[in-house]
Amino acid sequence: MADEYSVQETKSSPSWQLPAIVILALLALGGLVYGWSNSTKVDEAKQAVADQMKTMQASVQQDMTGLKDRLTVAEKANTDLQGDLKVVTDKLKITQGQLKKARLEAEQNNTQTTEMVKTLDTSVHTELATKASTDDVKTVDTKVAKVSTDLDKTTSDLNMTRSELGTLIARNHDEIDVLRRQGERDYTEFTITGKNQPQKVGNVTVVLKGVNEKRNRSNIVYTVEDKSYEAKNANINAPLFFYMSGSHQPEELVINKVGKNTISGYLSVPKANSQAPATAAAATKSGR
């Protein structure tokens, strides 16, 4: 009898199943870890949002409280203003009534005043017409003549001095205006500041060389018709005379004031010479 052998069939698992299981397990574990991490972040985000909401709610609540307080103050101020407005309105009504009354009284007074003025004007004209006799006219003429004489004496009242050639010497701007109104000469006022700086004064060029404030003196050089003349230690209010070509009347250069490196004065030109052309100087003379 043949030996019977029992043959057992053994089935073995494929070799790839174990690594697959391990990978799946790792993936599952990674998913759990990722899910837990995301869950933690979501919780943190929720907490942050909740905190922000609480902060915003507190801020809004504070703003609402402040707004309510301001509204209460505004309502009180509005109530006070309405009360004040009522008082002012009541007083204004009284004032308007008083103003209307005052206007009526003023109109009445103006009417009365106008009538009085008209009456007075008529009376004055009538009286003047009645009293306007020849003697009154003569009296007026006498008064006018006296006023004219007083005006002619204005120069004497100012105590002006005369130069050796008989011309009046002005010592300041007011006296220059007095002489200018006489109409006999033209006057050009000037102020020179700084040394060695030529300045044109009418038909003369003046250069300041130096000053002596204590003694009210100055050194100047003045050029007339291309000829220069030097005046040393010239006193104030002492005219420097010079003649233009063809003229028999002198022009006068007068220094009225001396300051620190500055002088002020005027140039006096006879009316007959004011338009004469400059050609050559005939003579010069300085007053001391």
Q: 178 and 268, same structural domain?
A: yes
Q: Which structural domain, as residue segments, surrounds residue 35?
A: 26-132
The residue that leads in pLDDT, 261 or 120, is 261
Is 51 part of a structural domain of the chain? yes
pTM of the predicted structure, to 2 decimals? 0.43
Residue 152 belongs to a domain: no
In a domain, 4, yes or no: no
Smallest CA-to-CA distance from 154 within 171, 172, 177, 188 is with 177
Q: Which pLDDT does position 129 carry in this prediction?
A: 62
Residue-wise pLDDT tens digits, 226-239: 899 999 999 999 99
Q: What is the mean pLDDT of residues 28-49?
A: 80
Q: Residue 167 and residue 180: Cα distance in Å, rounded?
A: 13
Report if residue 12 sits inside a domain.
no
pLDDT at 136: 57
Report pLDDT digits (tens) over 140-172. 556 555 555 555 555 454 567 777 777 888 999
Phi first, then psi: what are they for 189, rounded to 5°? -85, 150
Q: Are 175 and 120 within one domain?
A: no
Q: Which residue has the higher pLDDT, 128 or 287?
A: 128
pLDDT at position 138, please? Answer: 58
In-domain check, residue 1: no
**Helix ranges, 212-255 (H):** none
pLDDT exceeds 90 at position 257: yes
pLDDT exceeds cutoff 50 at 280: no
Domain end residue (candidates: 132, 151, 182): 132
| Residue 227 and residue 176 in one domain | yes
Please tell me whether residues 246 and 206 are part of one structural domain: yes
Q: 181 and 117 in one domain?
A: no
Overall domain count for the chain: 2
Q: Is the pLDDT of residue 21 over 50?
A: yes
Give CA angle at 136 (131, 137), nearest 5°.
Answer: 120
Domain-embedded: residue 98? yes
Q: Which helix (H) or strand (E) holds 62?
A: helix 17-131
pLDDT band at 189 (very low <50, low <70, confident <90, very high): very high
Helices (H), 132-185: 134-152, 154-157, 173-182
Together in a domain, 127 and 166: no
Looking at 132, 148, 181, the residue that finishes a domain is 132
Mark whether 92 and 198 lie in a shared domain.
Answer: no
Query: Are 87 and 200 part of one and the same domain?
Result: no
Same domain, residue pair 176 and 270: yes
Confidence of residue 104 (pLDDT cuts 50, 70, 90): confident
pLDDT of residue 204: 94
